[in-house]
Structure 1
């Protein structure tokens, strides 16, 4: 029987047709860790361990799916986000590392200026990864999430149960949302659709073929449609000193800042991600 390291090398070689060698190796390791229920440390320490026929068969089945270009997260049905296990499927985007940076920014701000019993709303919640990570780390917060997709909301609700978090999810098209006359949120956060159709040629085939376009793309001639709508909504529903956080398109940092300022937000800050790209923004509402 082949051992763990042999299977890792074999799978890496196969996946190198679609991915660069480092990414192919990383995906191969994720597959083995999932099927063998190993941590990364356990995987490295058990390289000479022989695999059972059942385990080999499972790896071969996963390999077959991966070679179609389907993302590893969809093949395995889950991913990790800010130390939370998040179920994913074709109805929700795969959480990205830059979104973890957005969550980290919010939590760092809360650590510096702690508030109790705060109300948080996540708009375009998708898998629910943002509100779940926030609730896990801010257990006294009252957290909600909304989305236009019923299927996404079903997945988000399942993820909330999986991670033992109490979150209220509801269906809403934010582009048609009515303003609440009574401001009630301390924080509103959103990672809305922001990829222009003209950017498709720069994207990996496995994103275009498998991830939901509803959650990805906006019209080329109106790339900030969601940011303007959400900023306007937030200007009516945030309390005094409430904060709006966005994940943003790196090409529209200045434009996003301007849209937030036009909606009444002050102290607007655009923050770069680990790759030195404009990726996040926040603004404070002063009433």
Structure 2
């Protein structure tokens, strides 16, 4: 079987058209059509239905697509395994991380890792958890680092760190002289939220709901990034509950202030997610061990 034809078939499916697949593969559209025809001849059936200028997978095409992805992954993995044996592999690891980890935690960790593995090179993607997991599923990254637990039997999931979410105010806020506040005092202030469906926001809302405080909160605004929230809090537009790792610098230099809430805490684990594979690159093994050693 021609692996190249299967790769092209999957690319056509993923891109939704032969012309896009041809353009991304730097070949002509007739060359793509020829490869698809070869597969259709091999299986004795059409892999795409063509109606009104639109192309969709046939039933046979849907079945082949799932097998083709597995075959391509096995081909890539076997090649990497042989390269490791021959000593010709590239010392590179591809990591995907959710925003809090990728922007605030990972840079320092990569610096510490590189001190002991100077030959290693990294490529980093940052995005929300569904986006990062899609990269992992498509084998575009080796390791995903995310803020929410993943329940999928196809993945190996391990905790590598823990963080807590804390209440932050401007440095000169009226609560600055208090050792702590009561949870019901939160309703006296306007709260600045992350956007809906943010993992951080979901945790905060869950905790406030348990204290029957969520409906009593006065919403100031919703912002799409932690950096914009920190700036808004500094400008005294409201208060917020944010991951500690994202405000360490602001707390150190008295830009923001942590205010403790009596008998109220939000903790969360940070997770390593990997595909269950027969073979792992040595770079992936070393980085996984490094992350585990920091717990």
Query: Is TM-score (shorter-chain normalized) higher than 0.5?
Result: no
TM-score bracket, shorter-length normalisation: under 0.3
Higher relative contact order (CA 8 A, sep 6+): 2
Normalized against structure 1, the TM-score is what?
0.27
**Bigger Rg over Cα:** 2
